Amino acid sequence: MVTATFRFYEELNDFLARPLRRQSFSCACARDATAKHMIEALGVPHTEVELILVNGESVGFDHPLKDGDRVAVYPKFEALDIRPLLRVRERPLRVLRFIADAHLGGLAQLLRLAGFDTLYDNHYADARIEALALDEARIVLTRDRELLKRRTITHGCYVRALKPEAQLREIFRRLDLGSSAHPFRLCLTCNVPLRRISKDEAVGRAPEGVLERHSQFVTCDVCRRVFWEGSHWKRMRALMDSVTDGATDHVKDSAKRR
């Protein structure tokens, strides 16, 4: 047996048993246990971890723990610059794509609204989510920490908020999505790009009154529905502006110029 001392920082404490939060504690580890093995055994999904220091040196997930090691575990940082230190993942995912678990249908729709390719199906089993995340390099979004402990899931987010809009704000803040958002690009139902169509093409597919009042239309080539900038669009626009904090102004401006 090996005994190491652990200290978890910031929101990682939420995953620990109450007596272990926000303080150093000793823990017996199996011989040959790795940092990742012990962190997950204590209840913290490895996908939530950004940096591990053992005796002050940054290490990877596979680092074997020795007797007397002092292990400090940090979440994804928002403000503190840790670039000089080795992060546990070599490089971030280049294109941000998501897969949401069965309980996050509302969040999945809002991420699509913001332009992020997000798979969602309330019949996905955990093994299917794991396979899709690996094959398509998708970030797993879930409120099930057991799912994030699966071996091949390398990028995941444990969603803390309960309501879709709050979840969207949380994910935007934690993954710094504001500058990558591209609202009104995808069909909220089908997760595929929308296509601009002429008013003539919209005839017979949108109500007469709408055709009189609007000149811009888009359609989804999968579900064949037609969309326009009506009152629902205005509510969605306000939500997008509030989460992106003006970061998509350039998108709006270029849309106006077209």
Query: Rounded to an integer, what distance in angstroms lies between the CA atom of residue 230 and that of residue 163?
Result: 25
Write down the least CB distance from residue 216 to Zn ion, Å: 18
Nearer to Zn ion, 219 or 248 (CB): 219
What is the amino acid identity at position 62?
Answer: D
Tell me: does residue 24 bind Zn ion (CB under 5 A). no
Smaller CB separation from Zn ion, 15 or 116: 116
Report, in Å, the least distance between residue 218 CB and Zn ion.
10
Q: Are 109 and 164 in contact (CB under 8 A)?
A: yes
Please report where in the chains the tokens 């280049």 appear, as a residue.
Answer: 94
Please tell me the distance from the alpha carbon of residue 107 to that of residue 155, in angstroms, as a whole number. 17
Distance, C-alpha 165 to centroid of its chain:
14
Which is closer to Zn ion, CB of 44 or CB of 220?
Answer: 220
Nearest approach in angstroms of CB 204 to Zn ion is 18
> Residue 190 CB, nearest distance to Zn ion (Å)?
3
Binding residues for Zn ion, total number by CB under 5 A: 6
- Residues in 39-58 that interact with Zn ion by CB under 5 A: none
Least distance between Zn ion and beta carbon 104 (Å): 19
Cβ proximity to Zn ion: between 64 and 193 the closer is 193
Site string for Zn ion, 121-140 (x = CB under 5 A): --------------------
- For residues 175-234, which are near Zn ion according to CB under 5 A? 187, 189-190, 220, 222-223
Tell me which long-range contacts 213-222 makes (C-beta under 8 A, separation of at least 24).
Answer: 218/184, 218/194, 219/194, 219/195, 220/187, 220/189, 220/190, 220/192, 220/194, 220/195, 221/192, 221/195, 222/187, 222/190, 222/192
Collapsed DSSP state (helix, strand, coil) of residue 92: coil
Specify the residue, 75 or 183, whose C-beta has the smaller distance to Zn ion.
183
Alpha-carbon torsion angle 196, 202, 205, 206, nearest 10: 90
Query: CB of 188: closest distance to Zn ion in angstroms?
Result: 8
Smaller CB separation from Zn ion, 203 or 223: 223
Q: Please check whether residue 255 is in contact with residue 242, taking contact to mean a CB–CB distance below 8 angstroms.
A: no
Q: Which residues here bind Zn ion, judged by CB under 5 A?
A: 187, 189-190, 220, 222-223
